[in-house]
Each structure stands twice: as C-alpha cells, then as structure tokens.
Homo-oligomer: A and B are copies of this chain.
Amino acid sequence: MIKKEITKLFPLLPFIDLCTVGEDGTPEVRAMLNLRNAQICPHLKGRFKDGDCIFYFTTNEHSGKMKQIKKNNKASVYMTDPQTFEGALLLGVIEEEKDKKTKDGFWHDSWKMYYPQGRDGADYCILRFTPKSYKYYDGKFNVQTGNV
C-alpha cells in the first residue's frame, strides 16, 4: 500500500507532469490535465478510490507523446504541493488504454473542443500509467523510495 502522504497529492492540482523518453533518448515532460482533480473533472468525482495508483491521461492520437510511448513505454508521473514543498514521483510504464468502456467512462462532452470527433472519434485517446516504484520528497530535503 502506497503511503498516505503520497496519495493525498494525487488530486491536489489541476495539472500533473507526465514524463516520457523521446525518440533520441532525451527525456520530455509536459503538464497534463489531472483527471483526479475536482476542478478539472467534476464529472469524475468518486471514480478514483483511495490508494488507487493507476493514472489515466487524455491525449490526441497524433500527439508527440503517443509516438514516444509506442517506442518506449517507460514513464513517470510527478506532482507537488506548492504549500509544503512535498513532491511525489511515480515510476512505471504507460500504454494506450483501448478498452472502450473505460474510455467512455472518462469522457465529458465539453472535451469536443479538444477532440472534435467526440467520444467515438479516433483522435480521443486515453493513456494508462501503472507505477512500479516511487520517490517521495518530504519538503524538508529528505527523499524516501519504495515499491508501489
């Protein structure tokens, strides 16, 4: 069971960092919509249970990260608490979630501004990140590591 200090960071901020490896081996990071955040996704309230460490991200089929992930599925997810300077880095693998029911479960009609073809269009993709280990920064210059 992953520690409470980490899981409490999961829904905190509207955006969350997703880190992948580019085709030439250079790491990349970008802010992604945090589907666990109540401000970003009120329609997903209750979707994630306490201790659930699987992260999902929305993306476009033609995004650069989709190409990267197909060649190298190693990834990490990073979030911080700007008030306490705590941070959590989850390390694991990412892949495309192809289960239609799961994808439909995340959809909100307002997302047509990102995916004009809607919920059933090919451009609407969901990524599923599964962590294997973590690094927890306690905000007081200490780092703790462990398995998920």
Contact = CB atoms under 8 A, between A and B. Distances in A.
A27 B80 contact: no
A56 interface: no
A17 B19 CA distance: 11
A118 interface: no
A63 to B, nearest CB: 9
A81 to B, nearest CB: 11
Contacts of A22: 91
Count copies of this chain in the complex. Answer: 2
Given A27-B27, A28-B76, A31-B87, 5 more contacts: A20-B27, A22-B91, A27-B76, A29-B78, A30-B137
Nearest to A143: B64
A129 to B, nearest CB: 12
6 contacts: A17-B29, A19-B27, A24-B74, A26-B76, A27-B27, A28-B91
